[in-house]
Structure 1
């Protein structure tokens, strides 16, 4: 009996810690959304110094749409994670001094954590798309073939995609086991 109680306590504590980490990462990405928005202004000239390489207003519009969608996914993910933490820490705890010992529906917890993880992944994808627009506005359009633009976009896509694959693999493994 004491062994299962100890296992429940550590497992619930791990879930709360994981949810805290997810909310913290989403907060950092949300800051990146607003930094991306602040770095661009309509009619801005690129650093390429060729007017043909300057982004038009449609790129700025796409940037704004991608930033808003990204922010929405990060907010969704954070709110789901915070809701799960609330359920664990407040609603299911019988003793205020033992907030990490909660009797919760593990299926609901797993699906909530999966939903939160999906929200973070989608937010990252839209943030990456918006960063492509920021790069095009600042360094020049990809269609111009600017070496700086191509290198920046290619390295970002490779690194972010690799990180997302690791994150998704880990989340799926945790969900299935």
Structure 2
């Protein structure tokens, strides 16, 4: 009887170790995905600060026609879009960093049980989804702010500046395509 119990305990320990190894490899994939999201958000945050440096009033466009210069409303919109974009990127990065911290505490062998984090799979998925949505919204507002940067530097779209129209068309086409691919990939990952 003791021999049977010992064999049963050995099997249970093997299953626990096997499940733990599977969990660690799965969560290491989550940590890698969250690292990538934080890195991309950091790059976009640099773009936000570049846009903020262009918010000084009285700038003349390269169009050469004073009627094509951006007004105060365009500069105000640029500032608002940049701040909202930065807020979404910061939200996304902080959620991702919090999830990474929880995952690392769960998988750490050196942490006492009192400090060990307990996170369930549903909370992890919702957190990752919230972080991805924050990043997407940040990209959308960054796109809007870049349209205003183009209008400030190249002339208003309403003025018919050919350079501004081409730049905005390229920007909107490429970023929209990338966002559709990103959204599709995130939805596919969360439904499969």
* TM interval, short-chain normalised: over 0.9
Match of 2:145 in 1: 130
Question: Distance between the aligned counterparts of 1:12 and 1:63, measured in 2?
Answer: 39
After TM superposition, what 4+ stretches of structure 1 lie above 3 angstroms from structure 2? none
| 1:32 is aligned to 2:47 | yes
**Is 1:10 equivalent to 2:29 in the alignment?**
no
Q: How far apart are the structure 2 equivalents of 1:96 and 1:153?
A: 52
Contact 1:142 1:150 in 2 (8 A): yes
- What 5-or-longer segments of structure 2 have no aligned partner? 1-14, 112-116
Partner of 1:75: 90
- Unaligned runs of 5+ residues in structure 1 are none
Cα drift, residue 94 of structure 1: 4.8
Offset of 1:103 from its aligned partner?
A: 6.7
Q: How does 1:95-134 map to 2 (within 5 A)?
A: 95-96=109-110, 104-134=119-149
Secondary structure at the aligned position of 2:44 is classed as helix
**TM-score, length-normalised on structure 1?**
0.93
Q: Which residue of 2 aligns with 1:175?
A: 190
Q: Over aligned residue pairs, what C-alpha RMSD do you find?
A: 1.5
Contact 1:93 1:103 in 2 (8 A): no
Q: Which residue of 86, 90, 93 corresponds with 2:107?
A: 93
Which structure's relative contact order is higher, taking Cα pairs within 8 Å and 6+ residues apart?
A: 1
2:4 corresponds in structure 1 to none
Deviates more, 1:31-40 or 1:145-154: 31-40
TM-score by length of 2: 0.86
Candidates 44, 58, 63, aligned match of 1:43: 58
Matched residue pairs, number?
Answer: 172
